[in-house]
Amino acid sequence: MSIAFPLHRNESPLPDGDREAILAAPGFGQYFTDHMASAVWTADSGWHDGKVTALAPIPLHPAAAVLHYAQEIFEGLKAFRHADGSVWLFRPDLNARRFVHSARRLALPVLEEEAFIASIEALVRADESWVPAHDGRTSLYIRPFMFGSEAFLGVRPAAQVSYYVIASPAASYFSGGAAGVTLWVSSTYTRAAEGGTGRAKCGGNYAASLAAQVEAHDNGCQQVLYLSEPGRGYLEESGTMNLFLVTADRELITPGLGTILDGVTRASVLKLAAEHDLKAVERQIGIDELRERCAAGSISEMFAAGTAAVITPILAIKGEGFEQVVGDGEPGSSTLAIREHIVGIQSGRLADSHHWLHRV
Ligand code: COI
């Protein structure tokens, strides 16, 4: 039987004026809505105690498994307001399925797709006034997460697990918006290894990425381009985004799945490729091939795709002793067209011919 998420109304929501000021310039991940959805799983009773309550700090025992062994997974998806005021989620079924995959990898209990989507709908309905206006620029970013909350210091899967969903109004993930980023090819760090957690959306992957992120910033880059080995090997992903290359002969190449995240935006871009006269190809791409083909002009565009970052042009890559501009160093025309296509479907301006939208 699926778990329900009844609303316990927040008696002291933010005044309308304060909320409107935040919605006018939300940034990314800085402000949170009035409520949160939650549920608890125990080995004895399964999932129970589903509810939507006022957003509040989470009481946690200092011995909770997540604080010691990082038994945690999360998701990211968005709700969009259409011109008629209605609110829609973009492909929540794919997030639900990935959450199940991540849970299995981190030895957490499975939350069924129906319950996952019900928890998100319940929160978005409670905080509907937090979904930004229809402007093609802003949305409500939704963050479901699950962690081992049992107080126990032995290393084994927690017998008590907590699930929460919070939400945050969002504009562009990068302060420069769609203008584009330069990626840092680290010679020190990798993101994932065969058999590891690279394909799971778990907090540990992001914790391990922070030192590389600092290295990227120190070298004037906004994000990392992870390779299969430090400084060499094959392209993986960018830590918060999947990678795509556009070739002069109209191939759209992206690294195949394995140790990278199975991105929802990635899957959507692959599906839309043919509508942009591009042949979608999933294969390994070596860093040497990338550098040589960029230098020769046979790779003309590069972009990154993710829920938070949508489609972000990659204008150059940099590493120890080299810097390579992609194309003419400006956002490419296919990149911008694919971005417009995805944002258009999400915001209801373009037909949802693939049936990706889910009405709340
Ligand atoms: C997302 O795009 O939803 C992500 O999870 C990236 C992020 C960690 C901000």
Atom number of ligand 1 nearest to Cα 141: 3
CA 114 to chain centre: 20
Question: Does 286 lie in the same domain as 160?
Answer: no
What is the Cα–Cα distance from 191 to 207, expressed in whole angstroms? 10
**One domain, residues 166 and 189:** no
What is the number of other CB atoms lying within 10 angstroms of the CB of residue 350? 13
Structural domain ending residue among the three candidates 122, 138, 170 = 170
pLDDT of amino acid 2: 84
At residue 240, the 3 state secondary structure works out as coil
CA dihedral 236, 237, 243, 247 (to 10 degrees): -20
- Ligand 1 atom with the smallest distance to the CA of 77 is 3
Tell me the CATH number at 110: 3.30.470.10
| Domain assignment of residue 156, given as a range | 16-170
In the block, residue with structure tokens 């120890």 = 320
CB atoms within 10 A of CB 206: 15
326, part of any domain: yes
186 and 163 part of one domain? no
The pLDDT tens digits of the residues spanning 274-286 come to: 999 999 999 999 9
Say what the pTM is. Answer: 0.95
- pLDDT given for residue 31 in this prediction: 95
User: Which residue do the tokens 């209990």 mark?
Assistant: 109
Question: Confidence band (pLDDT; 50, 70, 90) for 128?
Answer: very high
For residue 101, the number of C-alpha atoms closer than 13 Å in the C-beta half-sphere is 16
pLDDT range class, residue 172, cuts 50, 70, 90: confident
- The interface pTM score, or ipTM, of the predicted complex is 0.94
Quick count: other Cβ atoms within 10 Å of Cβ 6? 9
Alpha-carbon Rg of the chain, whole angstroms?
21
Domain end point (choices 125, 140, 170): 170
Distance (Å, rounded) from C-alpha 250 to C-alpha 271? 15
CA dist 91 → 78, 102, 264 (Å): 9, 17, 7
Residue 317's CATH number: 3.20.10.10
Rounded to whole angstroms, the Cα distance separating 58 from 169 reads 21
Does residue 352 lie in a domain region?
no
Q: Whose CA is nearest to atom 6 of ligand 1?
A: 240
How far apart are alpha carbons 174 and 217 in whole angstroms?
13
Measured in Å, residue 308 CA sits from the centre of ligand 1 at 5
Q: Is the pLDDT score of 63 beyond 90?
A: yes
**Which residue has the least CA distance to atom 3 on ligand 1?**
76
What is d(CA 255, CA 285) in angstroms, rounded to the nearest whole number? 7
Q: Are strands 310-319 and 357-359 parallel, antiparallel or unpaired?
A: unpaired
Total structural domains in the chain?
2
Residue 344: Cβ-neighbour burial (10 angstroms; 0-12, 13-18, 19+): middle
Is 6 inside a domain boundary?
no
Q: Which H or E run includes 236?
A: none
Q: Confidence band (pLDDT; 50, 70, 90) for 240? A: confident
Checking if the pLDDT of 135 tops 90, the result is: no
Q: Could you report how far apart the first and last alpha carbons of the chain are, in Å?
A: 21
Residue 262, phi then psi, degrees to nearest 5: -85, 80
Residue 5 lies in a domain: no
Do 163 and 191 reside in the same domain of the chain? no
What number is the average pLDDT over the span 227-236?
A: 95
User: Does the pLDDT at position 177 exceed 80?
Assistant: no
Distance 44 CA to ligand 1 centre (A): 33
Taking 90 as the threshold, does the pLDDT of residue 287 lie above it?
yes
Question: Same domain for 150 and 191?
Answer: no
Asked if the structure places residue 355 within a domain, the reply is no
Residue 275 pLDDT: 96
Tell me, in angstroms, the distance from the centre of ligand 1 to residue 307's CA: 6
Please check whether residue 260 is in contact with residue 254, taking contact to mean a CB–CB distance below 8 angstroms: no
208 with 148, same domain?
no
* Mean pLDDT value across the chain: 95
- Is the Cβ–Cβ distance between 186 and 102 less than 8 Å? no
Shared-domain flag, residues 60 and 200: no
The residue type at 134: H
Q: Kind and range of the H or E element at 289?
A: helix 287-296
Ligand 1 centroid to residue 275 C-alpha, Å: 26
Say whether both 157 and 37 belong to one domain: yes
Residues 69, 166 within the same domain = yes
pLDDT the model gives residue 179: 85
Q: What does the pLDDT read at residue 178?
A: 64
Percent of the chain residues topping a pLDDT of 90: 92
Structure tokens at 135: 């402007």
pLDDT of residue 134: 87
pLDDT at 152: 96
87-119 pLDDT, tens digit per residue, is 999 999 999 999 999 999 999 999 999 999 999
The DSSP code for 176 is T
Cα 128 to middle of ligand 1, angstroms: 22
Residue 288 has pLDDT above 80, yes or no: yes
4 within a domain of the structure (yes/no): no
- pLDDT tens-place string over residues 157-171: 999 999 999 999 999
Q: At which of 170, 189, 204 does a domain end?
A: 170
By alpha-carbon position, which residue is closest to atom 9 of ligand 1?
308
- Where is 335: in which H helix or E strand? helix 333-347
Residue 176 pLDDT > 70, yes or no?
no
Ligand 1: distance of its center to the CA of 325 in Å?
A: 26
Closest residue CA from atom 5 of ligand 1: 76
Distance 87 CA to ligand 1 centre (A): 21
Residue 30 pLDDT greater than 80, yes or no: yes
Provide residues with CB under 6 Å of ligand 1.
76, 206, 240, 306-308
* Residues 329, 256 share a domain: yes
pLDDT at 142 over 70: yes
Smallest CA separation from ligand 1 atom 7, residue: 240
